[in-house]
A and B are shown apart, each in its own frame.
Chain A
């Protein structure tokens, strides 16, 4: 069974540009979560999508947005990039319903560097 996949592996952008990160969940999983992990720091919750809808978002500005497609894959968009957006962006998926009682499976992440 294929795990969570993310693309691209690495992404280099300059300040002010937009970045699009992609995630494909494990087959059968309907929930997708996005996290930001700055170097050496913990996981900061960004967004949670389930069944195509945004269920919750963390304390991030509106320039962080995303969507979930009918096939449950997801996209994270970061507009007007700032230097401090440089981080590892992790996507995770879980079985349906809320993630409260379901383990999350993480992808390898996308390393975003903003110059």
Chain B
């Protein structure tokens, strides 16, 4: 079935190291959104990408939407302990009917 997979599922990094999570869809996406969920919290919107090949930056976070609009990535430079949480991508699949799917998520732990 149509899925949006994220890799890795888990990532432990030392504080100061970089981190990247990848989001891959089996179907072309009309857009991609990224959310962060802190432990015990609810998802919070980070950013939305719409255009093919689009790159957006938020301080230490860099978001990229693939040329084919089937994949996306979130890169964090010099992680901090406040980056801990699960990062989800979410997108609308271009498949005839509206289908909004969240990715499987990447859980990030930052070791001080």
Please report the total number of A residues contacting B with Cβ < 8 Å.
Answer: 22
Across the interface, do B43 and A98 meet the contact criterion of CB distance under 8 Å? Answer: no
The verdict on A45 contacting B45 (CB below 8 Å), with A101-B31, A101-B50 known, is no
Query: Hey, which chain B residues are within 8 Å of A100, CB to CB?
Result: 30-31, 92, 98, 100
CB distance from A23 to the nearest CB of B (A): 12
A111 to B42 alpha-carbon distance, docked (Å): 12
Decide yes or no whether A64 CB sits under 8 A from chain B.
Answer: no
A52 to chain B minimum Cβ distance, whole angstroms, is 17
- Given A42-B88, A42-B104, A100-B30, A56:B43 Cβ within 8 A: no
Q: How far is the CB of A49 from chain B (nearest CB, A)?
A: 13
A56: which of B33, B44, B97 is its contact (CB, 8 Å)?
Answer: B97
B33 to chain A, nearest CB (A): 7
A25 interfacial by beta-carbon distance below 8 Å: no
Check B100–A56 contact: CB distance below 8 A.
Answer: yes
- B88-106 residues at the A interface, CB under 8 angstroms: 88, 92, 97-105
B12 CB to closest chain A CB, in angstroms? 16
- Size of B's binding interface in residues, CB under 8 A: 21
Nearest CB of chain A from residue B8's CB, rounded to whole Å: 14
Interface residue? B48 (CB, 8 A): yes
Contacts of A55 in B (CB 8 A): 98
Show the binding face of B for A, using Cβ within 8 Å. Answer: 30-31, 33, 42-45, 48, 50, 86, 88, 92, 97-105
Would you mind naming 19 contact pairs between A and B with Cβ atoms under 8 Å apart? A33-B100, A42-B88, A42-B104, A43-B88, A43-B105, A45-B101, A56-B99, A56-B100, A90-B43, A92-B43, A98-B98, A99-B100, A100-B98, A100-B100, A101-B50, A103-B48, A106-B42, A106-B43, A107-B42
